[in-house]
Structure 1
Amino acid sequence: MNLTLYYLVKEPKIKKDKNPLLLLLHGYGSNEEDLFSFASELPEEYYVISARAPYDMMYGSYAWYAINFDADENKFSDIGHARTSRDIIANFIDELVANYPVDSQDVALIGFSQGAILGYAIALSYPEKVQRLVAMSGYLNIEIAIDNFKNNDFSNLKIFASHGSVDQVIPVEWARKSIPQIENLGIPIVYKEYPVGHGVAPQNFFDLKNWLQS
């Protein structure tokens, strides 16, 4: 199947007419293999699909958008690039729903770092496409969301966010600042911190799996 993005797929152990979908979005400079290595840790009833970001940085590294490393927080990301990737992923979800027996009302995004930042933007922009978001080691940047996102219906959206308390790449304060912004939109959010850097603690997988299954 020629879909917009290159991806890996793990089929559910138990197939129903329609299975839930888990879409994995990797971080900056990584690739689709990264989060997919944890596919066996995820609930077995899901189609687990791991997408490769569209910008090729050579040597197996990909990005969802360019990052300007020496700027302040507001100029940290190429917002135009990021918005393009936001819509590429939203379209990719539609393609997956059209090409796989997945339930369009049971779609979860799991993003790490840059993938989590995009995950927030996609869930807030298109809550009709995404019912659950797991945002690991990322933060909310509302500039990447569509302009009128606050008018959306978030009644079916739930979020699990996590961060390393000693993250040296994305400061934990940025993640903490995101929580009240999400709560102000009336979206239920569970937030957890783990004593790690910019990575995923084993306990994090255990907690997010339990959250998905609850």
Structure 2
Amino acid sequence: MTNPEASTVALISRNDESRLGTPLLVFLHGYGSNEEDLMGLSRYLPQEFTYLSVRAPLQAGPGFSWFPLSQEIDYSVDAVAQSVKDLWAFLEPIAAQHSSLTLLGFSQGMAMATSLARYQREAVSAVVGLSGFAVEAAELEIFDDAKLKANPLPLFWGRDLADPVITRDKIEFTLGWVPSHTELTSETYPQIAHSVSMEEIHDVDAFLKREVLKLES
């Protein structure tokens, strides 16, 4: 499916009336990847969900990115904000057809997922972040962290403590941000580096069943 106005490209697990009223989970890929990267995870996650995987808007090598990397000359927190607003413009009418909205982001996709929750807390039921981080940009007008403090976000954060990609400053900010803004489920997975393991996906499955589907464990 595509959004002609925004030229947004996305894959959806079911695009007929059977998806209406189902919980929606949106995959947000990492830097340099594309919308096909995470869609395969859906086979290991609860089948009650409809799965939507969105392509980031900026070209990045053979793939795409949500915003420039922080060390790039054209990076700015305003670029992050614009990408978040554009993503919500695409997702809002789709999410309105579903019973809930959950975001799953890998790497830079976790930054987008947590940022969207900081922008539209009431719309987001939970976030899954894999090998990623939250954006250090509290001054952004679109971020309403006060709402998160009043209504903490259920967040699953899985990572390898020795992740070679996510820089220490990003991890330190995220570690400081999550206690007061989220109901955190934190898991670490030695030896996965900057990737995803089946053990981690099984933990994500349990998190989604508990926090979104409200199923007994």
TM over 0.5: yes
Q: Which runs of 5+ in 1 are unaligned?
A: none
SS in 2 for 1:166: coil
**How far did residue 173 of structure 1 move?**
7.0
The number of equivalent residue pairs is 203
CA deviations 1:38-64 (Å, max 9, x no partner) are: 1211210111000000112353x0111
- Indicate if the aligned counterparts of 2:23 and 2:49 stay in contact, CA closer than 8 A: yes
- Indicate if the aligned counterparts of 2:161 and 2:189 stay in contact, CA closer than 8 A: yes
Identity percentage over the alignment?
Answer: 25
Select 2:129's aligned residue among 129, 135, 157: 135
In the alignment, residue 124 of structure 1 is paired with which amino acid? R
- Counterpart of 1:162 in structure 2 is 158
- Counterpart of 2:214 in structure 1 is none
SS in 2 for 1:6: strand
In the alignment, residue 200 of structure 1 is paired with which amino acid? V
Matches within 5 A, 1:166-181: 166-171=162-167, 174-175=170-171, 177-181=173-177
In the alignment, residue 184 of structure 2 is paired with which amino acid? I
RMSD of Structure 2 on Structure 1 (CA): 2.6
**How far did residue 150 of structure 1 move?**
2.6
Q: Which runs of 5+ in 2 are unaligned?
A: 211-217
- Counterpart of 2:188 in structure 1 is 193
**How far did residue 145 of structure 1 move?**
7.5
- Indicate if the aligned counterparts of 2:95 and 2:101 stay in contact, CA closer than 8 A: no
- Counterpart of 2:208 in structure 1 is 212
**How far did residue 142 of structure 1 move?**
3.4
CA deviations 1:81-127 (Å, max 9, x no partner) are: 211111112222212135xx412xx1100000000011111112211
- Counterpart of 2:103 in structure 1 is 109
Given the superposition, is the C-alpha separation of residues 17 and 53 from structure 1 closer, same or farther in structure 2, using an over 3 Å criterion? closer
Are 1:89 and 2:91 matched, yes or no? no
CA deviations 1:133-157 (Å, max 9, x no partner) are: 0011111223178435133255273
User: Structure 2 length normalisation: TM-score?
Assistant: 0.82
Over 6 Å off, 4+ runs: none
- Counterpart of 1:126 in structure 2 is 120
In the alignment, residue 29 of structure 2 is paired with which amino acid? H
- Provide the C-alpha distance between the structure 1 equivalents of 2:152 and 2:10, rounded to a whole number of angstroms: 27
In the alignment, residue 138 of structure 1 is paired with which amino acid? G
SS in 1 for 2:67: coil
- Indicate if the aligned counterparts of 2:135 and 2:170 stay in contact, CA closer than 8 A: no
Are 1:63 and 2:65 matched, yes or no? yes
- Provide the C-alpha distance between the structure 1 equivalents of 2:127 and 2:53, rounded to a whole number of angstroms: 15
- Provide the C-alpha distance between the structure 2 equivalents of 1:94 and 1:115, rounded to a whole number of angstroms: 18
- Provide the C-alpha distance between the structure 2 equivalents of 1:109 and 1:39, rounded to a whole number of angstroms: 13
SS in 1 for 2:156: strand
- Indicate if the aligned counterparts of 1:164 and 1:172 stay in contact, CA closer than 8 A: no
**How far did residue 30 of structure 1 move?**
0.3
Are 1:25 and 2:41 matched, yes or no? no
Are 1:10 and 2:13 matched, yes or no? yes
- Counterpart of 1:42 in structure 2 is 45
In the alignment, residue 88 of structure 2 is paired with which amino acid? A
